[in-house]
Amino acid sequence: MFCRHYMVRSAAAQSTILDTATLGEALARMIKHHMQQLLVANADGEYRGEITTFMLAKILLPDLQGRHQTQDEAQLESVADIDDRITPYLGRKVSDMLVHESPVVHPDTPLSEALTMFASGKLRLPVVDPETKSWSASSRR
């Protein structure tokens, strides 16, 4: 059995955002649909990468030059401080902030290979046609 037999095209629309959308739009969709990642495609439907809550968490972290925040610093920090860290990014295009390390599979990839990735903790795998770069999502059910 191959990944093409397990692709879920209907799941792709809700969990996909165009690379021209802003990070603010992506964040709003993630919050609305309780998602930890959005797959990113261009206007031609070609897979480009993903935006994840892990990437967003890095933006929200205070700049402490590699050290841990002290109890006193944490006590003094406010919601406005966190807002100030993310606000400059909200108008940026998601194409500027893509995570590209995300694995992809091809329609002819053996399903057992995708299942191995799922077993290691991956929740969604874009199934990308190597010729057209178009894709749909394969996800755990």
Digit-coded pLDDT (tens) for 39-83: 898 998 888 888 988 889 989 999 888 899 999 999 999 999 999
pLDDT at 4: 81
Q: What is the mean pLDDT of residues 104-109?
A: 88
One DSSP character per residue, 116-135 reads HHHHTT--EEEEE-TTT-BE
pLDDT classification of 3: cutoffs 50, 70, 90: confident
In this structure, of 11-15, 61-65, 95-99, 116-120, the range with the lowest mean pLDDT score is: 11-15
Residue 10, pLDDT above cutoff 70? no
Question: What pTM was computed for the model?
Answer: 0.74
pLDDT at 12: 61
pLDDT at 141: 41
Residue 27, pLDDT above cutoff 80? yes
Q: What is the mean pLDDT of residues 123-129?
A: 78
pLDDT at 139: 47
Spatial CB neighbours of 22, under 8 Å, sequence gap ≥ 6: 90, 91, 92, 93, 94
Distance of CA 72 to the CA centre of its chain: 33
Question: In angstroms, how far is the first alpha carbon of the chain from the final one?
Answer: 17
Q: Could you name the CATH architecture of 3-139?
A: Roll (3.10)
Classify burial at 124, counting beta carbons within 10 Å of its beta carbon; exposed 0-12, middle 13-18, buried 19 or more: buried
Mean pLDDT taken over the chain: 85
Spatial CB neighbours of 32, under 8 Å, sequence gap ≥ 6: none
Rg (CA), the chain: 18
pLDDT at 127: 82
In this structure, of 24-38, 43-57, 98-112, 126-140, the range with the lowest mean pLDDT score is: 126-140
Side chain identity at residue 70, one-letter code? T
